[in-house]
Amino acid sequence: MEWPIGFGWPAVGIDLGTTNSCIGTFRNDQIQIIRNEHGDHTTASCVAFTDNGRLIGADAKSRVATNHAGTVFDIKRLIGRKYYDPVVIAESRRLPFRIVEKLGRAAVEVNFKGETRIFTPEEISSMILSKLKAMAEHHLGLAPGSDIACVVTVPSTFNIYQRQSTVSACAIAGLHVFRTVPEPTAAAFAYDHFRIRNPGEKPERLVLVFDGSYIRFFLFSPFNAVLGDTKVFLFQKRGSFHVDHILFP
């Protein structure tokens, strides 16, 4: 069986989103988005801690109303940030679970199996990534715990600490990060992927991507190389929650 290869291992692409995440691979000359156990292409970026165990994805999201203090979501807003970061302070007023300090960084405190536990955003993110990795292993016919390389997307506004924290979360989940890619860049490449194979298409094309923080303009060459990349700042808050709030106040 043929797989895309990174570092000598099967490779996947991951969109670790604020609200939802997804994982895909490139096989048989096609991009394949891997479905979860519910048959969905996306998995909720949500982790619920209970007295009996841990839930991830849609099962965790369904517990938000009944277990709000133990259901962690929107963790991407906290990753790589210090505890006294203005964004962390603002999010602590909105999010229902408790945000605490751990080694100067933001972390979350939950009750898990009858014990009070503190998890970093990297650890929470790694739980979501572990679920995505298990989905990829099943889809690719790999044994659990197999080495998998990945390309993971990050917001354009992420600084070096947030990017490194994302890489650390992947490492905790057992994924080997080949590269991080800005989300609008990944979207532009995905949009342009099949169009470059059509000989009737123009040799160069302009792709506009709106990702919630920026409008970015990409100019592609016939060889899928980015000839130009310009961005127009809109607002820094990320995720579908904020977009919905602006469109439907």
Closest by CA to 214, choosing from 246, 182, 241, 189, is 182
* Residue 15 bears catalytic tag: yes
Q: Known catalytic residue: 147?
A: no
| Catalytic position from the list 61, 76, 131, 133 | 76
**Cα–Cα nearest to 155, from 187, 181, 125:** 181
Q: Kindly name the residue from 91, 123, 137, 183 that is annotated as catalytic.
A: 183
Under a CB-based contact definition with an 8 Å cutoff, are residues 43 and 73 in contact?
no
Q: Give start and end residues of each alpha helix (H) in 173-239.
A: 183-192
Alpha helices in the chain (DSSP H): 58-61, 86-94, 121-140, 160-172, 183-192, 240-247
Could you say which of 15, 91, 122, 123 is catalytic?
A: 15
Q: One of 91, 122, 137, 211 is an active-site residue; which one?
A: 211
Active site residues: 15, 76, 183, 211
